[in-house]
Amino acid sequence: MLPNHFHGENPTSLARNSCNICSESLRYTQSIAYFYLTFNSIRTIWRAYMHNDIPMVAFIVFAYFGYFIVDHCLTVFNRLPSDEESPKKELLRVTIWSLTSAIMFGFAYQFSTFMGPTVAVLMYGIAIVSSAVLFYAHFIYDAHRGSKAFCSVKSSKALQFPSPADRDIDPDIKTLEQV
Query: Whose CA is closest to 91, among 53, 151, 52, 139?
Result: 139
Tens-place pLDDT, residues 5-46:
445 555 555 455 555 666 677 778 888 988 999 999 999 999
Average pLDDT over residues 73-100: 88
15 neighbors 23 (Cβ within 8 angstroms): no
50 neighbors 42 (Cβ within 8 angstroms): no
Tens-place pLDDT, residues 72-83:
999 898 888 877
Question: What number of CA atoms fall less than 13 Å from residue 130's CA on the CB side?
Answer: 18
pTM exceeds 0.85, yes or no: no
Query: Whose CA is closest to 127, among 100, 159, 152, 147?
Result: 100
Burial of residue 53 (CB within 10 Å: 0-12, 13-18, 19+) is middle
Tens-place pLDDT, residues 123-170:
999 999 999 999 988 888 776 665 443 333 333 444 444 444 444 444
